Every structure is written in structure tokens, then in C-alpha cells.
Amino acid sequence: MFPYFKQISLFFQNFLNFLTGERCFICNKSNKFICEDCFPKLPFIKGYICNICSSPIQGRELCENLICGECLKNPPSFKKVIAPFWYEDIMRELMHEIKFQGKYYYVYKIFELIKEGIFDFYKSIPMQDIYIIPIPLSKGRKISRGYNQSFLIAKELSKVIKAPVLNNFLIKIKELQPMMTLNREERFKNIKGAFSVAKKNSVDRIILVDDIITSTATIREASYVLKKGGCNEIYVFALCRAKN
């Protein structure tokens, strides 16, 4: 039922934009979702970041292979995180609208802005025999929200890099306390044992997709489970990366 409803809802949203003139999310001027003047104001990830988890690194080292202390101490099962935005300012507002206000169609609009940049991101990664796997929601959370935003992001990423999405390859097997209410240590304890690989046939190379990366607890646990399930080369894509 939901995919059909989503298409109808998106049609009426686009029709309404056509009739009223879409307004920029930032400056509210009639133009488009993010106008040309406001586009540079988006919090694009810049500066020194960890070459594995994309967390910010302080300092002026010129080495291209900077790795943060956490990834040196506890190497994750994934090879690299790719995220276009910091989770702050306008992107924090947009992600809140997507997750909690039913504005799922913002995912498509954001990808329209950055699809060329995303394509460039993945030029360095071999695309042959690679699959996209979204972080799943629990059944209860998916019913209450009506959609999985990570799956919507995965579908848009699939359109850009031409790699298939394997939905329900990774499943969430327990309800969790909301991560936003927990500190870093509690998040790692909360997510432990939350995932399982549903498919019997292993997939060698994947891109794991989440919406926002904060402590890395979710992607670390999911990557660990996928690695145990036979996935040997794991990359991560998220729209936003928190700085702490």
C-alpha cells in the first residue's frame, strides 16, 4: 500500500509546487528547493577528516591518510564512510523534517542538488558486483513512521551510481531505545545484537546506507554483522555526519 500512497503524495506535492511556486527552504524566495544563492550555505564536509569514518581531525597535517584515534584503536568492519554534509544547521533541520515530519520527499530533492558530487565520490570505488544495503528499521518504528528513510536514500543512491538495492538483506531483530536519548557509551550497548543477515547467499561487496552518522555505533554493529555474514568489502554512505 505505502509505495502507491507515496507516489500519489509526491505527485500532489509536485503539483502544489507547480501551482504556488516552490520556495527555497533557506531564504523562502520563490525559486526552487535550495536556490543558487543559498546552495553554498549548506554545511558540506570540508577540512581534515578521518579517512575511514569521516570524523573531523584537528591539526594541519598534510598526510592524505589521516585516521582518527577511535579507528586506530578499534578498526571498524567498514572501509570508508562517504557523507556529503555535516549534521548541523540547515541539514539538521532537513533531516528532522524527513524523519519526524513525514517530509520523505525531501530525500529526492536533496539528491537532485548533489547527485553530480555523489557520482564523483564513487569514481574511486570499483562498482562491479557491488550492492546497496540500507540500515533497516524495526517493525514497530517502520509502522509508526510509514517508511524507512535509509531505504529511500539507498534508492536515490542507486539511481546515481547504478548499483542495485538489496532491501531486507539486513534486518533489525529487536526494538531499541531511541538513540538520540543516549550518550555515546549507551548507544554502543543499545545497538549490540540488533541486526541479523536474512539472506543465505552472501554478498561480497556492499555500500551500507544510513541517514545520519553520529557515534558510528549503528554502522559499526551493522558492518560487523554483515562481515560475519560473508560481506568482505563494506563502504558506508550517509547524507550527514555529526562532528562529535
Rounded distance, CA 4 to CA 231, Å? Answer: 33
Give the per-residue SS3 of 49-92: ECCCCCCECCCCCCCCCCCCHHHHHCCCCCCEEECCEECCHHHH
Site of grid cell 548499483: 163
CATH class for domain 43-241? alpha beta
pLDDT tens digits for range 107-153:
999 999 998 888 877 777 777 889 999 999 887 777 888 899 999 99
Residue 235's pLDDT band (boundaries 50, 70, 90)?
A: very high
Helix (H, G, I), strand (E, B) or coil at 197: strand
Span 179-187, average pLDDT: 80
Rounded distance, CA 17 to CA 14, Å? Answer: 5
Rounded distance, CA 191 to CA 213, Å? Answer: 14
Domain ranges, ordered by start, for the chain: 1-41, 43-241
pTM, entire model: 0.87
Span 27-32, average pLDDT: 84
- pLDDT at residue 19 above 70? no
Span 160-189, average pLDDT: 86
